Amino acid sequence: MGGTSVDLQYRWRGAGVLLAAGVVLAGCSGNPSGGESPSILPSLTGSFPSWFAASPQQPEQPTPAGAPPLPSVIDDCPQVEIRAGASTLPVSSKTEQATVQDLRYQLTFTQTARQCSIVGRSMRMRVGVQGRVIAGPAGAPPQVEVPLRYAVVKEGVDPKTITTKFRRFPVAVAPGAPNVVFTDIEEDLSFPIPPLRELDAYIVYIGFDDQGDRTERRPAAKKAAPRAK
């Protein structure tokens, strides 16, 4: 499992290829009426109670004798962080030597939220994320795809990926819109409850992962037919 964590880290670094140019794009999302530009990256934290129908409840069933104590769904719920190098995803009209003027759009995060519950001896996390599709100088298409990777990682000297989920979903972009907000909620990011001293090292990482399902989509190579003797 440790190798999986390393693979994800290297894969997600590709999302920042045009990061420097993407920062310039923040200025493209200003208010078209000439007013003050909205904040592109407010605090990446929050409970977002309106996202989730009900507050998490601590299980009422007694802990069996000799079983380790259950964590608190409030105090021990792992934190959510944006993966370094995967916080933005610029998409250009060129594949090589692209400039700021070639950028069609950029994906970026604005806020995250999480909620924990306990089911048996597993912790179930609901993780929400909000972001923006920011139109670039080259013009955004009418529909873009947002590739998101959720990963629960046990941090430490040898980081270990506990569980990970990937999703790719479409977002419509109206003609002339400077930016569009998107929202996604992962309903079931579950994992076995570890000892409480280990749970402190668990972090939920979110990042754009444009290569997340490319390998699965790629058709398997056909074997050459054997030569007739």
- How do the domains of the chain map onto residue ranges? 2-31+39-51+72-212
The closest alpha carbon to 192, from 121, 130, 89, belongs to 121
The structure tokens listed for 188 are 């079931």
Helix (H) or strand (E) holding 188: strand 179-192
Pure H helices in 72-212: 196-199
pLDDT of residue 5: 44
Q: In what order do the strands lie in the sheet with 143-154?
A: 79-82, 202-208, 143-154, 160-172
Collect the ranges in the chain with pLDDT lower than 50.
Answer: 1-47, 49
The pLDDT tens digits of the residues spanning 133-155 come to: 999 999 999 999 999 999 999 99
pLDDT of residue 100: 86
pTM, whole model, 2 decimals? Answer: 0.72
